[in-house]
Amino acid sequence: MQVRYKLWLEEGEHVFGEGLFELLQEIEQRGSINQAARSLNMSYRQAWGQVKKAELRLGQRLLATRVGGEAGGGAELTPAGRWFLQRFKEFKHAAGEAIEAAFRQYFG
């Protein structure tokens, strides 16, 4: 047997979870919302919508975007975006360890 779980943060409504975490990781790695969305098999519109919804609920910008041109467009995480990404990663790791330990204790 294995334990499975999903983590997310709420403040009356969904604010930050696994999906946004993965999307921000991909944006950070690829420097592009479009490329990140493509790698996660979602549309650009869906990816951008997730980011905007989270920014609205958090009251902070998570991404800084650049419009195309000769140098091309792109996106990068703001300091707040990097902070949420890092904190959720640490939280996810700590919660996973605690859940695994509890699982072993109760189910051996």
How is the chain split into domains, by residue range? 13-107
pLDDT in tens, the chain (108 residues): 899 999 999 988 999 999 999 999 999 999 999 999 999 999 999 999 999 999 999 999 999 988 765 556 789 999 999 999 999 999 999 999 999 999 999 998
Both tokens of residue 81? 């975006």
Question: Going by C-beta distance under 8 Å and a sequence separation of 6 or more, which residues neighbour residue 48?
Answer: 33, 37
Gap between the Cα atoms of 108 and 92, Å rounded: 22
Gap between the Cα atoms of 85 and 89, Å rounded: 6
CATH architecture of the domain formed by 13-107: Orthogonal Bundle (1.10)
pLDDT at 73: 72
pLDDT at 34: 92
Using alpha carbons, select from 16, 30, 37 the residue that is nearest to residue 77: 30
**What's this model's pTM, rounded to 2 decimal places?**
0.89
Using alpha carbons, select from 75, 56, 55 the residue that is nearest to residue 65: 75
Using alpha carbons, select from 79, 33, 37 the residue that is nearest to residue 60: 79
pLDDT at 70: 56
Using alpha carbons, select from 91, 90, 10 the residue that is nearest to residue 54: 10
What are φ and ψ of residue 12, in 5° steps?
A: 85, -30
pLDDT at 72: 63
